[in-house]
Amino acid sequence: MKFFNSLVFPLLTLSTITFASLLRPYVLTNTIAGLGFFAHFDWQAIDDPTHGRVTYVDQKTAIQQNLTYASYDSFVLRTDSKTVLDPAGPGRNSVRIRSKRTYETHVAVFDVRHMPQGCGTWPAIWETKEVNWPDGGEIDILEGVNDQTPNSATIHTRAGCTMPETRLQTGTSGQLDCDWLVNFNTGCGVKFPEKTSYGPDFNANGGGWFAIERTDDHISVWFWDRQDKTVPRDVKWGTLLVDPKKWGIPSAHFPNTSCDFTQFFQENHIIINLTLCGDWAGNAYGATGCPSTCIDHVNSSPEAFTEAYFDIGSIRIYEHL
């Protein structure tokens, strides 16, 4: 570790790094881009636990149907936009991928060019353990439904984890009890202040960067849209080290004041999924000005899902060595 650090340090611009983080820097441990997604993620052909009108397909099917497409610098994950569905048959083909590795203390930077848009869509980039959920906690980094901006970042836990009312964040807190049993798993959500953080506005703007820092004493999520001049250089260029202490006030901040993160959060996978309708998007559908009912729309209007795709430039993971 000492030896590795001594190799890495000369490559840095020291002025961008604070003294404290020099002692324990976040070092790039995974760059996941383009075809690299195949090495770092598993395709999960499972039933949607949130009852969406989707069928998650395996990797082979996803490639055959071009629901997963990778070039050297782009990774696309989408739902089918060609098939009219039998209302009595299975849901629209879609993709759910889960990182092979799990992470505890880490920083992850997601460079996202396009996110799924369209009535009925419920995309998510999130982290969880998946064994005995919600053991190990759940952190939603990017999530929303039916094109309703802004983005929300949310944590879900077992009973005993709450968030303080006043926190150093630019977003707006919702519920403060993160217990999944309270209000049907609402969790501790924070709405981002930026209109460009979700859906059609995000896409029209060329997307942007989401970043998470998770430690034993806090979880923070930041967002910069593609046009934002204040995006930190280490985020924008994917340098070997990052220093979240220099990133400014996060959009969402979850401190450990009344939540022992070492108890409620464990080894988590990164999951990227796109479901349609289901518990959240389906229930919220009526209030969004979307046509017909969610299920009918998904069944009968494949062409409405041509924009229902992620295009991800890269995911960079940083850890303490």
Catalytic residues: 138, 143
157 secondary structure, DSSP code: B
164 sits near ligand NAG (criterion: CB under 6 A):
no
Nearer to ligand NAG, 12 or 295 (CB): 295
Residues binding ligand NAG: number (CB under 6 A): 17
Nearer to ligand NAG, 151 or 196 (CB): 151
275 sits near ligand NAG (criterion: CB under 6 A):
yes
The region of 46-54, 144-152, 203-211, 221-229 touching ligand NAG under the rule CB under 6 A is: 46-54
Give the angle 248-252-254 at the CA atoms, nearest 5°. Answer: 105
Q: Check: CB of residue 108 under 8 Å from CB of residue 40.
A: no
The region of 16-24, 42-50, 99-107, 221-229 touching ligand NAG under the rule CB under 6 A is: 42-50
126 sits near ligand NAG (criterion: CB under 6 A):
yes
Binder among 124, 277, 281, 294 for ligand NAG (CB under 6 A)? 124
Helix or strand or coil: residue 75?
strand
Helix or strand or coil: residue 262?
helix
Nearer to ligand NAG, 227 or 257 (CB): 257
49 sits near ligand NAG (criterion: CB under 6 A):
yes
Binder among 12, 22, 69, 129 for ligand NAG (CB under 6 A)? 69
The widest CA-to-CA distance across the chain, in whole angstroms, is: 62
Q: Which of left, alpha, beta for 243 (phi over 0: left; psi -120 to 50: alpha)?
A: beta
Nearer to ligand NAG, 277 or 290 (CB): 277
Binder among 84, 100, 216, 321 for ligand NAG (CB under 6 A)? 216
Positions 72 through 101 that interact with ligand NAG (CB under 6 A): 76, 96
273 sits near ligand NAG (criterion: CB under 6 A):
yes
| C-alpha span between 176 and 190 (Å, rounded) | 10
260 sits near ligand NAG (criterion: CB under 6 A):
yes
Binder among 143, 147, 177, 243 for ligand NAG (CB under 6 A)? 143
Nearer to ligand NAG, 32 or 231 (CB): 32
Helix or strand or coil: residue 267?
coil
* Residue environment code for 154-171, b if the CB has 16+ CB neighbours within 10 A, otherwise e: bbbbbeebbbeeebebbb
| C-alpha span between 306 and 116 (Å, rounded) | 9
Q: Amino acid identity of 306? A: T
65 sits near ligand NAG (criterion: CB under 6 A):
no
50 sits near ligand NAG (criterion: CB under 6 A):
yes
Nearer to ligand NAG, 96 or 191 (CB): 96
Q: Amino acid identity of 194? A: E
Q: Give pairs for 166-173: CB < 8 Å, separation 24+.
A: 167/253, 167/254, 167/255, 168/249, 168/250, 168/253, 169/220, 169/249, 169/250, 169/251, 169/252, 169/253, 170/249, 170/250, 170/251, 171/251, 171/252
Least distance from ligand NAG to the Cβ atom of residue 123, Å? 8
Nearer to ligand NAG, 35 or 291 (CB): 35
Q: Residue 19 has which token pair?
A: 């003294």
Q: Which helix (H) or strand (E) holds 107?
A: strand 106-114
Q: Taking the mean position of all CA atoms in its chain, how far away is CA 7?
A: 32
67 sits near ligand NAG (criterion: CB under 6 A):
no
Binder among 27, 32, 33, 48 for ligand NAG (CB under 6 A)? 48
Give the angle 299-308-96 at the CA atoms, nearest 5°. Answer: 90
- In the complex, the residues that contact ligand NAG under the rule CB under 6 A are 48-50, 66, 69, 76, 96, 124, 126, 140, 143, 216-217, 256, 260, 273, 275
